[in-house]
Structure 1
């Protein structure tokens, strides 16, 4: 299981296609990948075999996040201390004992809730950082309550105000703010995913490289990066100026962009001086597949101050 998870984890970073290729080509040809795979497998095995619940207590941020968000109206897995402790606290179960007359609570101190807790806490001590709300204590307690003839629900989903004051769940202002914020963030994420372009293009001028001029034109050298975010190949690609008349020459051959791949290269942009309005012209550049515009990007075009 650790080895399988390590493969999935590694595929997240290097890509599933590359990982499968490395596996079929054999470990001898990719020792660095195999070493990383074994390291990840060892880490996961260590977590599953020994570290276990300590991950929840020490490493996992879930408890810290919940600690910030919780208040007395938050519904969590909780022990009903009003019912469980009553006036004289807990007491072991004795058949035929009149617990109500002695003012004992319904908790018979069997400690089953502690035994089944994966992080080893005692839920009867209140809400704690280590609680992961797995509800194992609820199930264990309900079985015991049913066996001794008491009402189930001594441990269940409660808020502090629900236990202490008997108040029902309230959709208060704080919760409304949280819902609004999460709705906004979720909506923003979906919007970004829907508006995300299939191709990402970046065109940057080579640092330290001066422009070259002739009597009628100015030329600058740029590097370009194209990223294909899809599982489809793009063929017959070309780069064109959109905002100004000019010429773009690609060094090498920009014809295709494979799926889930990146392509880098160099281009020369030449523009007639008559078409330039400033010494740092803002250019809009389009990436085309045949005649179809699939992405746009911008860059600056430095030129002599005296254009004419």
Structure 2
């Protein structure tokens, strides 16, 4: 009972808050963040990277494949068409593989390079950049926007605000129309929407997603990243000391403070100052309003805006770049970053395995499915010729996007009579139902229940023979 628990002394982290300015509560979490524009290689790459995927998002619904919309996720018909691949509710494993591969790809990238998904590819980040771009072009740079919001409404302010919100609404509407176009034919959607002929649910969906886009990118912005998105909360489980994140080199930067530009780098160090001049540009360009000099924070989206801002200041001061950079905790501590490590290898192995299973599932997928439904009105009936007859409904599901002709036959029943269509033609991505009767002499039946199977065969356009068997029962007595 006299044993003491060892206590480890931990030096508390000193949080440096920016000096107070005329903006009042500019850095209050409840205050609006006025993001300062920044130029640099990372910012240029981030913009073009996001706009590239935005262009893909906007173009895909307009692509035609085999005479129809290449990507159409028809929820009403429960049919997803993706470039010649038609998925049905029965293909749940394939959809599960796609989501699992996407999840582990995200885990792998996050373990290696932190939240680069949030900073470079997240739709929220891309749309916020678009909205901010309109805001800067119409209302001016950061300082002018602050002054514009602080003054009373006048003609100039009214015109600028009206133009800005008109641009925002236009972007939100185009975004919503494009998104809904993934779930309904996009050409007809655009025409029907602007001629007020669209259906209720399509119109409701467009308005709903337009409002969401307008609110998220125009007003909520960083709140989505810091309070709503769950990714910020569990990302730390994937981080380790070798994860590349946007970090501030405190050893090199402290003590921070202003200094004359005429002082050389060596003279600054002789005065006990670090490389950080405490200009707060890294805070002003941050889309989530944090100070990266306070260490790694869950609000950081790894966009690298502060890296470009700080490197620009270092250039002007004739200091070495990299005071803020993409680096690891291990490297900041003076060690060497280990690229190859167990956690990263584990994520990579799982990603490769799941990708292989996904590819194998697609390659071995049979573009045909059948379902046999017995007549529920009677188990069997006796014909005028004394034959025992069972009635079935055969459903043929054409999973391809080409019209196919199928041949239906029965196996396991001797000397049977087939009544119904032996050949059926089914359109691509459609389900065809046909009633079929099978009759045989009772002397051919050895038991009251006989196991039989329906066989459906076809030959694809590529010459491949496809055969699917579905077991069922033939009943007597």
Same fold (TM over 0.5): yes
**SS of equivalent to 1:27:** coil
Matches for 1:1-308 after TM superposition, within 5 Å: 1-14=171-184, 16=185, 19-24=186-191, 26-28=195-197, 30-64=199-233, 66-85=235-254, 89-95=255-261, 96=263, 98-197=267-366, 199-205=367-373, 210-214=378-382, 216-222=387-393, 224=395, 226-230=397-401, 233-235=402-404, 237-241=405-409, 243-244=411-412, 247=418, 249=420, 254-257=424-427, 259=428, 261-268=429-436, 270=438, 272=440, 274=444, 279=449, 281=451, 283=453, 285-288=455-458, 293-294=465-466, 296-301=468-473, 303-304=475-476
Higher mean C-alpha displacement, 90-99 vs 71-80 = 90-99
Change (3 A) 1:145 1:226: same
Change (3 A) 1:24 1:296: farther
Q: Deviations over 1:175-227 (max 9, x none)?
A: 11111111212222223233334x34241426955531435545143352524
Q: Deviations over 1:43-83 (max 9, x none)?
A: 22222221223222234344345322111111222222222
Q: Note the residue ranges of structure 2 that are not aligned, 5 or more in a row.
A: 1-170
**TM superposition shift of 1:242:** 6.1
- On the 8 A contact 1:219/1:269 being kept in 2, the answer is yes
Residue 135 of structure 2 is matched in structure 1 by: none
Q: Note the residue ranges of structure 1 that are not aligned, 5 or more in a row.
A: none
Residue 86 of structure 2 is matched in structure 1 by: none
**SS of equivalent to 1:300:** strand
**SS of equivalent to 1:219:** strand
Change (3 A) 1:195 1:119: farther
The whole-number CA distance in structure 2 between the counterparts of 1:202 and 1:65 is: 43
- On the 8 A contact 1:201/1:295 being kept in 2, the answer is no
Q: What RMSD, in angstroms, separates the aligned Cα atoms of the two structures?
A: 3.4
- On the 8 A contact 1:224/1:264 being kept in 2, the answer is yes
Q: Deviations over 1:235-280 (max 9, x none)?
A: 4x234236435647359x94231x4x43242433526464788937
Q: Deviations over 1:139-182 (max 9, x none)?
A: 11110111112110111111111111322334112211111111
> What TM-score do the two structures reach when normalised by structure 1?
0.78
The whole-number CA distance in structure 2 between the counterparts of 1:271 and 1:142 is: 85
- On the 8 A contact 1:212/1:218 being kept in 2, the answer is yes
Change (3 A) 1:125 1:186: farther
- On the 8 A contact 2:426/2:432 being kept in 1, the answer is no
The whole-number CA distance in structure 1 between the counterparts of 2:292 and 2:446 is: 73
Aligned residue pair count: 292
Change (3 A) 1:12 1:101: same
The whole-number CA distance in structure 2 between the counterparts of 1:31 and 1:114 is: 46
Specify which structure has the bigger relative contact order, considering alpha-carbon pairs within 8 angstroms and separated by 6 or more residues: 2
Change (3 A) 1:271 1:81: farther
The whole-number CA distance in structure 2 between the counterparts of 1:297 and 1:64 is: 49
**SS of equivalent to 1:169:** coil
Identify, as 1 or 2, the structure richer in helix. 2
**SS of equivalent to 2:270:** coil
**SS of equivalent to 1:100:** helix
Change (3 A) 1:176 1:32: closer
